Amino acid sequence: MLMSAAGVKSAAGADAILDRPAVAPLLRVAIARKVYRRAGTEPVEAVRDLAFEVGPGEITCLIGPSGAGKTTTLRILLGLDAEYEGTVLPDPAEAGIAMVFQDPRLLPWRSVEQNVRLALPRPHRDKNLDALFEALGLAPWRSRYPGALSLGMQRRVSLARALAQEPRILVLDEPFVSLDDAAAAGLRGLVVAAVARFGTSVLMVTHNVDEAIEIADRLLLLSGRPATLVAEVPLDTPRAERSRSWAEATRRGLAGRFPNVIAD
């Protein structure tokens, strides 16, 4: 498996290999096995031999079929699930990870602003968030309750809550599903801008290949259950230079090489 990943790397771009090992990764995930056991049912193996790293300032997309154990992997690296074989380094509590969940998971009884502030450690609750709210277009909504906002706006609040942490790694679980194209594109742009501005690394789980090709520096392709790493694909074309035809060609190329993960 490591062989195949290395093979893809060298095929895609030589300089990426040269400078990558020089920077220490922010997070190393190595899950040997994760099995769900529940009394009265067959044990289900969700993840097997999944290892990857998140480097500084890069956008990594985990792509795999629905129900493949992507969310399980995220729960493990967030420290929400400790029952697995393997290691996550550094410890999730110290890794500086902030999570944007698939559903916004806001406290409906607290205002937008309170939702963002309450997730901060107590000493930082009072910090100035004007620039953040302004950047995410949330300034007029600060005192509203989340219930008054559309799903797209709620997702922005969820993103604001994560960015307010000034995380080293921003983890996003299918952040753009069930949004209309305009709202999804807007939110995608905000994530990319945040990476550019704060140097935050992003680890994003998605099953939308086009979306991943548009913004990722690196794709991690996962197989179906149990989730296992099929390939690691760097995308070295700078984001600004990615055209529609480039995206289509990339997608076709990937579909040819990994027909089980990516449909044509």
Partner 1 sequence: MALLARLASLVVLLVLWQAVSVYADVRTLPSPAAVAAFIGREAQKGDLFFNVGITLMRVAISFVIAMSLGCLLGIVLGRSKWADQILDTPLLVILNTPALVITVLAYVWLGLTETAAIVAVALNKLPNVAVIMREGARGLDPGLEEMAASYRFDRRTWIGNVLIPQLQPFVIAAARSGISLAWKIVLVVELIGRPNGVGFAINYYFQLFDVTAVIGYSLVFMTVMLAIDTLILQPIDAHVRRWR
Q: Could you tell me the smallest distance in angstroms from the CB atom of residue 107 to partner 1?
A: 6
34 vs 218 by CB, closer to partner 1: 34
Interaction between residue 94 and partner 1 (CB under 8 A): no
Q: CA 63, CA 69: separation in Å to the nearest integer?
A: 11
Spatial CA neighbour of 173 closest among 247, 104, 110, 224: 104
Spatial CA neighbour of 91 closest among 38, 26, 186: 26
Interface size with partner 1, residues (CB under 8 A): 24
Interaction between residue 121 and partner 1 (CB under 8 A): yes
Interaction between residue 36 and partner 1 (CB under 8 A): no
Whether the CB-CB separation of 161 and 122 falls below 8 Å is answered with no
Name the one range near partner 1 by CB under 8 A: 14-22, 111-119, 190-198, 218-226: 111-119
Q: Could you tell me the smallest distance in angstroms from the CB atom of residue 69 to partner 1?
A: 17
Per CB under 8 A, the list member of 103, 134, 180, 210 interacting with partner 1 is: 103
DSSP letter at 203?
Answer: E
**Nearest 5°: phi and psi at 140?**
-75, -10
Tabulate helix, strand, coil % of the chain (nearest 5): 40, 20, 40
Whether the CB-CB separation of 141 and 167 falls below 8 Å is answered with no
Name the one range near partner 1 by CB under 8 A: 57-65, 74-82, 135-143, 213-221: 74-82
Query: Which residues in this chain contact partner 1 in the complex, by CB under 8 A?
Result: 75, 78-80, 93, 97-99, 101, 103, 105, 107-110, 114, 118-119, 121-122, 145, 147, 161, 165
